[in-house]
Chains A and B, each alone.
Chain A
């Protein structure tokens, strides 16, 4: 990954309200239209004005899943950004800033400063945001790109606001572009052109689109960062795609409403973050008991409680594993990246339809709010749909039993409204014919039968889930085990370790339930050393892995400061553990936002 011929990182820092997203979006468009890959991470806070926002965009001619380790180009929109981050800038890097208002103090030797006399270039424009456009022109010039693609992207971005706005922005970008060419040394390696234009999306877009592609007809939500993007995508596409989208009074209502809609035949889903998921948990178990397929998404943020709403963590695993009382069957899956999140949705919907049970997707802020390039040809909006044993036409015969104790444990599911299939679904334990066996007529033999029926169907359908596979050489010095969003950063660390003389392989775990513990144990039994990488304090995944496999490991790399891992954090951690310096390595976060 990092061995890509072109691997360039730029960051834009400022405060909320300074319109940082705009240059970020414009530049992202420029790159993907050129066919370059990108990965972005936006570090921000939970305020609408002020604070510090720091957007990092990594661009490469190969696929990139992380925002990398270094910054080549920094755009400072305020003095605070300059003061905070000047120390991160190494020799050969460049800093673009508005020289009317910002001063760069103590840059390291070899850092090129690119002061932009914005007021002069803009003829004293009173538009506060115009400095962003000037800067975009400068950045495009520094990266050795032509002006035309930038102009196209500016038109796309501003056309809805009228020709005057388009013209002003194009002119200001041009001024920044020309000024830079005339005054500053460009980067030696210019941005190349890829083979075909790419698309950009966020993980939340991908989750929503994956749901839509899977045939979701009902989506309910209560806003909660960092999951709200799913609601926004659904709401803006609902009417075109025929999806009912509801913002509901609370997450208890969200989950229960999704279950009601699912029972009538809709593929239904809802997304939230940890706090909202806590409110949903009783409903998760009710879907298990009533045997209603429905999908819940938890986009993790740093907890506990309200925690750090704009920061990431893999801290909800045990909450999700323990969600809802009692023993019941449910799928739990943690996609490894944006495209995987997209593809997971139809796959999971097929599984929950077949097994008639809930499914839970674990994402986090890094995937969900990160923006990534994607080859549009890889987005399959028309995936295979398998609804399992679903009855959708009436019958003249009698004797339907909703919870028939079949050999497979799967009881054909008739949708309400059909003649001939009248039945009740119940959260109380019930017999095959839905009659309660919970109150007056408890019956241990029937209870056992129903518990086993539900377990049996799940075991059968869970066979469809692939076992995790080891990536990299079998005989590596060390196996790195991660789950969910750490996939990209571990892959990159494996490459970096090679340069340090350590061969590593990688066991990424995507399916939390079913874990396929036998396969995992078998793989790990052949590892020389095992190090677990996860984004939390207490090693939640490690403790789960150990409980399911009994495996003991050699060390851990853990991070819980709210910021995602950078590849070198993992690399350093592995080297320290391998050298016997520590069992649990916690990297130092250099970029402070």
Chain B
């Protein structure tokens, strides 16, 4: 198995295009849904990185967003609501040569799966987590989410939400994530670029993507984001400066930053685990034990 991320050169096979990453069915998202931009960006990024479909595992939870694995030509796991990061960690440990991308919703990632979010970041599992953040529960037809703004009226907060939202960027930084970025799904070029950076990054990478739900979130619309998003790279942000990253991540008004807030080098979980040092992916190894080991184990019991 050859599974590195930027290996297009040196291959005899024809390079793939974004179309080659089209899945067997068309998305059933509402027309105009922000999730389309994320799917497009992902397909482009895969093609541009020279990935082959079998080298990629896309893991999702449950939500409108989490239907994505069905729409991309790659190995996929459409798991339980909130559990994608846990499943993806297991899958990455089982086959650390695979490129793992997790595509989940804001409810999935920061609500029901919040504990996994914290710990996957802390462990620096080498996977890319793309949170398709529409600041609402889409699939369940429009309830408040952990990223909904204070005051937002939804079906479950008809008088306006009284709770403050979670800040995914500062949370991820505090949890020890080694690559933390934000994007807007309306800017496919920028998002494609960020996905490529994130996949190439060795360790846990988060891209929180504003992905407007045109049906249930009438506050955070494309129009809302278009005028507000500003790229960090245009302002010379230094991704090694975590304090500045946090300050910029907390700005929410006329200016909302996108781009890479923080990036740092740290050994990833698979690199830390001696069991993975040699022998290829765990899942493909022979199952039998060596007699010299089993005899020693039994000897110790006597």
- In Å, the complex CA distance between A387 and B69 comes to 27
B10: interface (CB < 8 Å): no
Q: Are A257 and B287 in contact, CB atoms less than 8 angstroms apart?
A: no
CB distance A264 to B281 under 8 Å? Answer: yes
Instruction: For residue A511, give the distance in angstroms from its CB to the closest CB of chain B.
Output: 24
* Interface CB pairs A-B, < 8 A, 16: A237-B297, A240-B293, A242-B285, A244-B94, A244-B273, A249-B116, A252-B83, A253-B89, A253-B116, A256-B86, A260-B90, A264-B281, A268-B90, A283-B80, A417-B3, A424-B77
User: How many angstroms from the CA of A379 to the CA of B294 in the assembled complex?
Assistant: 10
Whole-angstrom CA separation of A286 from B273 in the bound complex? 28
| From B89, B276, B298, contact of A381 by CB (8 A) | B298
Contacts of A427 in B (CB 8 A): 62, 78-80
Please give, as numbers and ranges, the residues of chain A lying within 8 Å of B298 by CB-CB distance.
199, 376, 379, 381
Partner of B276, one of A212, A237, A244, A260: A244
A419 to B279, CA, bound (A): 20
Q: Is B70 an interface residue (CB 8 A)?
A: yes
Output the least CB separation between B58 and chain A (Å): 8
B54 touches A421 (CB 8 A): yes
Interface SS, A side: mixed
Instruction: Tell me whether B24 and A435 are in contact (CB under 8 A).
Output: yes
Residues of B within 8 A of A376 (CB): 298, 301-302
Interfacial residues, chain A to chain B (CB-CB below 8 A): 32-33, 197-201, 205, 209, 212-215, 217-218, 220, 237-244, 246, 248-250, 252-253, 256-268, 282-283, 286, 290, 374, 376, 379, 381-382, 385, 387, 392, 394, 415-428, 433-436, 439-440
B54 touches A417 (CB 8 A): yes
A-B residue pairs, 7 tightest by C-beta: A260-B90, A215-B287, A265-B283, A264-B94, A424-B76, A381-B294, A257-B90
Per-residue contact bits, chain B 26-45, to A (CB 8 Å; 1 contact, 0 not): 00100000000000000000
Please name all residues of chain A whose beta carbon is closer than 8 Å to the beta carbon of B75 when the two chains form the complex: 416-417, 422-424
- Rounded to whole angstroms, the CA-CA distance of A425 and B83 in the bound complex is 14
Other A-B contacts than A381-B289, A419-B52, 14 sampled, CB-CB below 8 A, are A238-B275, A249-B118, A253-B116, A259-B90, A263-B77, A265-B282, A265-B284, A268-B90, A382-B294, A385-B288, A394-B54, A422-B73, A426-B69, A433-B24
Binary CB contact string for chain B from 264 to 277 against chain A (1 if under 8 A, 0 otherwise): 00000000011110
Q: Is the CB of A264 within 8 A of B283?
A: yes
B180: which A residues are within 8 A, CB to CB? none
Asked if B287 contacts A385 (CB within 8 A), the reply is yes
Residues of A within 8 A of B73 (CB): 422
* Chain A residue at minimum C-beta to C-beta distance from B2: A419
Contact of A260 among B28, B59, B301 (CB under 8 A): B59
Tell me if A262 and B70 are in contact (CB < 8 A): no
Question: In the complex, are the beta carbons of A417 and B1 less than 8 A apart?
Answer: yes
Q: Which residues of B sit under 8 angstroms from A205, Cβ to Cβ?
A: 301
Q: How many A-B residue pairs have CB under 8 A?
A: 220
Give the size category of B's interface with A: 35 or more
Are A416 and B90 in contact, CB atoms less than 8 angstroms apart?
no
Instruction: Check if B171 is an interface residue, CB within 8 A of chain A.
Output: no
Closest partner residue, chain A, to B83 (CB atom): A256
Rounded to whole Å, the gap between the CB of A270 and the closest CB of chain B is: 10
How many Å from the CB of A343 to the closest CB on chain B? 15
Which residues of the other chain, B, contact A423 by a CB distance below 8 angstroms?
75-76
- Cross-chain contact B287 with A244 (CB below 8 angstroms): no
Q: Report the bound CA distance from A580 to B89 in whole Å.
A: 59
Please, which residues of chain B bring their CB within 8 A of the CB of A256? 79-80, 83, 86-87, 90, 116
* A-chain residues with CB within 8 Å of residue B283 when the two chains form the complex: 217, 261, 264-266, 415, 417
Q: Write out the residue numbers on chain A whose beta carbons fall within 8 Å of the beta carbon of B293.
A: 240-241
Most buried by A among B52, B62, B284, B289: B289
Partner of A261, one of B1, B54, B80, B94: B94
State the CA gap A257–B85 with chains docked (Å).
8
Q: How far is the CA of A427 from the CA of B282 in the complex (A)?
A: 24
Give which listed residue, A252, A260, A422, contacts B74 with CB less than 8 A: A422
Which residues of B lie under 8 Å from residue A268 when comparing CB positions? 90, 94
- Selected from A249, A263, A394, A422, the residue in CB contact (under 8 A) with B119 is A249
Nearest A residue (CB) for B112: A252
Docked pose: A427 CA to B54 CA in angstroms: 21
Known: A217-B282, A282-B80, A286-B79. A261 touches B91 (CB 8 A): yes
Cα A353 to Cα B93 with chains together (Å):
19
CB-contact partner of A417 in B28, B95, B289, under 8 A = B95
**Interface: B25 (CB within 8 A):** yes
Q: B219 near A: Cβ within 8 Å?
A: no
Q: Report which residue of B1, B55, B70, B79 has the largest number of chain A beta carbons within 10 angstroms of its beta carbon.
A: B79
CA distance A385 to B24 in the complex (A): 36
Which residues from chain B contact A415 at a C-beta distance below 8 Å? 95, 283-284
